[in-house]
Chains A and B, each alone.
Chain A
Amino acid sequence: MTSPATAQAPLIRLEEVTKVYPGRGRQSSPVTAVDGVSLEVMPGEIQAIVGYSGAGKSTLVRLINALEPATSGSITVDGTEVVGLSERQLRHLRLRIGMIFQQFNLFDSRTVWGNLAYPLHVAGVPKSEHQQRISELLHFVGLPDKAHVYPGHLSGGQKQRVGIARALATNPTLLLADEATSALDPETTGEVLELLNRVNAEFGTTIVVITHEMEVVRELADKVAVMEAGRIVESGPVFEVFSKPVQPVTRRFVGTVVDDLPPGPVLEALRARHTGRFVTLAFHDPEVRQSDVYAVLARHGVGFELIYGGIEEIQGVTFGNLTLALVGADDAVEQALADVRGLVPVTDLDRLEED
């Protein structure tokens, strides 16, 4: 999944990209949807872009295949500068970029076959090759028997599979996915994510996914960029961003899948049920295992109980925040904590208020 750390050129390079929409009505003022964004995506990577509604995510991906022209900045895809290309040149570029959508956007007037044949026609693939390519695609997405069905008769998950097949028809090097699973139930979402993972693994297709679901980021992405008000406020490998979120918006997003410190009301409830010293241990370092920490506590004769939190696995690394209630003599607990601090970051919940 992750590309080797060679001096490879990025597949996508955004530099100080800005998109300003003119105001719609007479009085309305212009909207800066994307505001000085710089981002690089390496070939074969899966880059997620998260952010709340209106953050500018859709606008950002639509700049990449120039469905919207950028107002300023530079966008290169596969070495081609996109900004300033003519409509004709853009059509060439778009043959190498597939796109899938939240609402699938299939042609209702065409069968599944017709939907898959359309990009082949556009790309000028000879008709004699359609049969084989379409059958390949349908097998790949697991819908070999749906060729002659109209989209109206497919379930949401099947429609998105067709959408993916259609986007892959011309073997694009890049796939853009705008909320591709947001209209699907959790189970179907899982299937579609697995399919996208296979696309990446088998064809080496670089994927940019927009989502507001951190589950999608966790299941799919190598890297994540968090957008707020048109800017990328935080970005990096998913593991890093998940384990050490910095910006408030990032913390909120990460909090939806990874438990952080127990929030106030939860802490009160915990206090009512448990005694002892409350500490939260952050397991971020793949070298440090939980058992190491528990061994230290045992050595100091400190009893402990896991009262809150959980361990996640992301990109093969386990991490998470565990809140423990420590029971023992005060100095024993103190010494144990000193040793534990040598292994993992510790947040002392009893001392939190005094900080």
Chain B
Amino acid sequence: MEDTRLPELWPELWEATTQTLVMVSVTMLVGGLLGLVLGMALYLTRRDGLYSNRWVFGVLNVVVNFFRPIPFVIFIAAVQPLSRAVIGIGIGTQAATFALILAAMFGIGRLVEQNLVTVRPGVLEAARAMGASRMRIALTVVLPEALGPLILGYTFAFVAVVDMSAVAGVIAGGGLGTFAQQYGYRQFDYVVTWTAVILLVILVQVVQFLGNFLAGKVLRR
């Protein structure tokens, strides 16, 4: 066994793990919800959508296309001013979470839109023929019918968010990614690096397993 400072780094590791969990879960919760709304809006306003509106769709579409390709390591720095304006702080875990939420919203928005278009139009037509309102159809037909693919989509998004959260160090956001870089990579301490890696892998695996399990349950009926 080579030299490692891992035993004295437990408090830092614990803090980093908590930061990652907080960043990722808050992002998935808030960004996931905003992404759902955005994706729904894209789906509903597209051509032949329930609320088809080319202007609204056009604007949303351009905005999503503009922000989505920006690499997160740049995005996180670029939204700092916005972060200061909205939550009053430009660095730290909160600011990193703010950036994550925004990035996740655009990514998940597109993902949700793509999952919703898999719902067969005939099913919407059936609901419309029954006299259901468009909003009712959106909430009680479109979402449940797309639930399986949506769960898989969110699982995929979760892994992407974990990946992005590793960059939080750029604005001193902490988390396991920062921990691995600061105490592992820069100190040539492979034990520390791999401990962080294994924790991240476990986190991703657990969520991936849960996602697959739930989606399987939904899709198999």
Binding site for B on A (CB under 8 A): 65, 67, 87, 90-95, 97-99, 101, 103, 105-110, 118-119, 122-123, 150, 152, 166, 170, 176
Contact = CB atoms under 8 A, between A and B. Distances in A.
Interface stretch (B122-130, B175-183, B195-203): B122-130
Contacts of A170: 130
Contact of A94 (B131, B136, B145): B131
Contacts of A97: 129
21 contacts: A67-B125, A67-B128, A92-B131, A94-B128, A94-B129, A98-B129, A99-B129, A101-B122, A105-B120, A105-B125, A106-B126, A107-B126, A108-B221, A118-B130, A118-B140, A119-B130, A122-B130, A122-B132, A122-B136, A150-B221, A152-B221
B147 A109 contact: yes
B131 A91 contact: yes
Chain A contact residues: helix, strand, loop or mixed: mixed
A98 B127 CA distance: 11
Contacts, number: 69
Interface string B197-221: 0000000000000000000001001
Contact of B132 (A91, A98, A103, A108): A91
Nearest to B47: A24
Contacts of B145: 107-109
B123 A107 contact: yes
Contacts of B187: none
A87 B123 CA distance: 19
A109 B217 CA distance: 11
A105 B144 contact: no
Sorting the interface of chain B by its residue count into under 10, 10 to 19, 20 to 34 or 35 or more gives 20 to 34
A330 to B, nearest CB: 64
A110 B129 CA distance: 18
B131 A110 contact: no
Contacts of B147: 109
B174 to A, nearest CB: 40
Contacts of A95: 130-131
B144 A107 contact: yes
Contacts of B136: 122
Given A103-B120, A103-B122, A150-B221, A109 B144 contact: yes
Interface in B57-78: none
B133 interface: yes
B170 interface: no
